[in-house]
Amino acid sequence: MARVVGAKPGEVVVMNSLTTNLHLLLVSFYRPTKARHKIILEKGAFPSDRYALASQARFHGFDPERTLIELSPRPGERTLREDDILETIDRRGREAALVLFGNVQYLTGQAFDMKAIAAAARKKGCAVGFDCAHGAGNLALNLHDSGADFAAWCSYKYLNAGPGGIGAIFVHERHARAKLPRFEGWWGTDKKERFLMKPAFDPLPGAEGWQLSNPPILQLAALRASLALFDEAGMRALRRKSEALTGYLETLLRGVPGVEIVTPERRGCQLSLRLAEPRAKLERRLKAARCVVDFREPDIVRVAPVPLYNTFEDCRRLAEALRA
Ligand SMILES: *Cc1c(COP(=O)(O)O)cnc(C)c1O
């Protein structure tokens, strides 16, 4: 898993599910004070992330309406401008305890410049974390060098482990032995001493110290089978094919009337489309043409040719079905 996200082995551990992990990491990395309690995030963030952040703010006694600084695209635009993100962090970072971003936006497919965001956040003294749900197994990430303090992701999107599959976290090695507050459990303690059943918590260094419980073996087995394939192919090779595949699809779709591509150039494999045609009819027609896409209210269709198992021929068939 560490190889998939470009981290050192000690920086990553597989455990729990994504939202649970976000909460556990926020316990350690969201340390608000009266003067610095704000959280910078994007307005269109996946709802679970916003719920986690808002409830953490409330848990610390702050009003989420005043704590969350949410960035929106400019009027008339559908995706955030990098400059606007960095400018907001620069202008309001001093009030913020935390900057939390996705690395690929789930709805628009926009990928964010993690390095630039992390550098801007850290310059202002904010903790910085990323939700990599739509980046892990999609982009060739380099979490270790990204500047992030922490990250969390799931394994059931681009990592193929199936719905409810086990999640994972990254904690940068600079925090490996830091005395951070955290919620503790026996699986986070020194492996040699777990079964000595001692009363005092002696954490494992690195990400493993955040584990609470012994993990579900069947889920780990499913994930391991998927990760073996990622290892065999290699993230760099997958990303190379992915760029070609999505680039090809983009070229084909540019010629189709009634199709607007929302996703900007910085992206993973996903293209988000706005289609002129009503949803019900489209869904029926695409299904009949054996194309699997994802509809999101009110008007977005997500298509994601995945390099492990999608082909250029799949892209051509989808473009033809849309044209028809
Ligand atoms: C999928 C997703 C989630 C939901 O994850 P759970 O494993 O159900 O907690 C949360 N945040 C983002 C950004 C996601 O893409």
* Six-digit token string for 61: 């006694």
DSSP, res 270 = -
Hey, whose CA ends up nearest to atom 14 of ligand 1? Answer: 133
Query: Residue 259 sits in a domain of what CATH number?
Result: 3.90.1150.10
User: Does one domain contain both 208 and 137?
Assistant: yes
Q: Please give the distance, rounded to the nearest whole angstrom, from the Cα atom of residue 17 to the centre of ligand 1.
A: 8
> Which of these three, 176, 210, 229, is where a domain ends?
229
CATH number of the structural domain spanning residue 64:
3.40.640.10
**The two three-digit tokens of residue 1, written as one number:** 């898993």
Do 193 and 279 fall into the same domain?
no
Ligand 1, CB within 6 Å, residue ranges: 17-19, 46, 48-49, 102, 106, 131, 133-134, 154, 167
In terms of domains, do 150 and 224 share one?
A: yes
Name the residue range of residue 254's domain.
236-323
- pLDDT for the residue numbered 161: 85
- Shared domain check, 133 and 34: yes
The burial class, CB within 10 Å (0-12 / 13-18 / 19+), for 296 is: exposed
Q: Are residues 262 and 180 in the same domain?
A: no
Angle at which helices 312-323 and 279-288 cross, to 10°: 130
Q: Let me know whether 224 and 250 are in one domain.
A: no
Do 308 and 193 lie in a common domain? Answer: no
Which of 147, 207, 154 lies closest to 8 in space, CA to CA? 207
Q: In ligand 1, which atom is closest to the CA atom of 102?
A: 13
**Which residues in the chain come in under a pLDDT of 50?**
none
Which residue's CA is the closest to the ligand 1 atom numbered 7?
Answer: 18
DSSP assignment of 106-173 = TTT-BBP-HHHHHHHHHHTT-EEEEE-TTTBTTB---HHHH--SEEEE-SSSTT---TT---EEEE-G
**Nearest CA residue ID for atom 1, ligand 1:** 133
Q: Quick one: 135 and 24 in the same domain?
A: yes
Instruction: State residue 299's pLDDT score.
Output: 83
Q: What gap in Å lies between CA 295 and CA 280, rounded to an integer?
A: 10
Strand partners, 130: 101, 151
- Tell me, what's the pLDDT at 130? 98
Choosing from 203, 229, 255, the residue where a domain stops is 229
Residue nearest to atom 13 of ligand 1 (CA): 46
pLDDT of residue 97: 98
Taking the whole predicted model, whether its pTM rises above 0.85 is answered as: yes
Domain end among 197, 229, 261: 229
What pLDDT is attached to residue 215?
94
What's the structural domain count of the chain?
Answer: 2
Residue 295 and residue 158 in one domain: no
The confidence score (pLDDT) of residue 266 equals 96
Closest ligand 1 atom to 164 CA: 7
